[in-house]
Amino acid sequence: MVRKNIMLLVCMCLLLLVGVACSANIDEEKVTAIDSAKQAFMNKPKEINEKSGNTKFYLPSDYTIEKEEEHNIILHKGDNPVIIFINPNEGSSSQSISQRIEKKKEDYLAYEIFQEDDRVGFAAIKELSKDEYEVTTGVGGVKVTAQTKVKDLSKYAEDMMDIASSIKQKGK
């Protein structure tokens, strides 16, 4: 009996250790996610492969378009919605959205503003609940937002910055 209890205790401890070791750590992941967004911003924009109204952009293969409006596009990656907001009055050098994030920086776990040539990019991560986070990326007047688990923050940040960096509008 004692031997069974000891074995059970050892198994539970091992499972706990494996769970802790495999779980994503928000302190590490937020840094990795911001770095992923920054790298995507600094890279050459991905090739445009989608059009929605007057907006042309890169759409990763695992994303689908759910709804299109004049200045908003709702995408899906699996069950998660990803929202693109486009301010047609703002170019890629606009700081209006990034300045709003800067003013509310206490609301974010992490944020960074990037600049390259005539472009301004940003990435921000906000905690919504213990295991749900909002990630926002953008370039100028384009903002892309999604909610995800900590383990997916980096991939979303990279994909979303790839989308934001690629957006071309008619007449721009």
pLDDT tens by residue, 45-77: 999 999 988 899 999 999 999 999 989 999 999
Supply the pLDDT for residue 2. Answer: 56
pLDDT band at 18 (very low <50, low <70, confident <90, very high): very low
Task: Round to whole Å and give the CA distance between 169 and 73.
Answer: 13
Task: Name the residue among 35, 69, 30, 62 with its Cα closest to residue 153.
Answer: 30
3-state secondary structure of 121: strand
Mean pLDDT of 87-103: 91
Host H or E run for residue 122 = strand 119-129
Q: How many CB atoms lie within 10 A of CB 115?
A: 13
Please give the angle made by the CA atoms of 155, 157 and 160, to the nearest 5 degrees. 105
Question: Does the predicted TM-score (pTM) go above 0.95?
Answer: no
Q: Are 140 and 91 in contact (CB under 8 A)?
A: yes
Of 75, 102, 86, give the one whose Cα is nearest residue 143. 86
Between the CA of residue 116 and those of 49, 93, 120, 125, what are the distances in Å? 24, 9, 7, 21
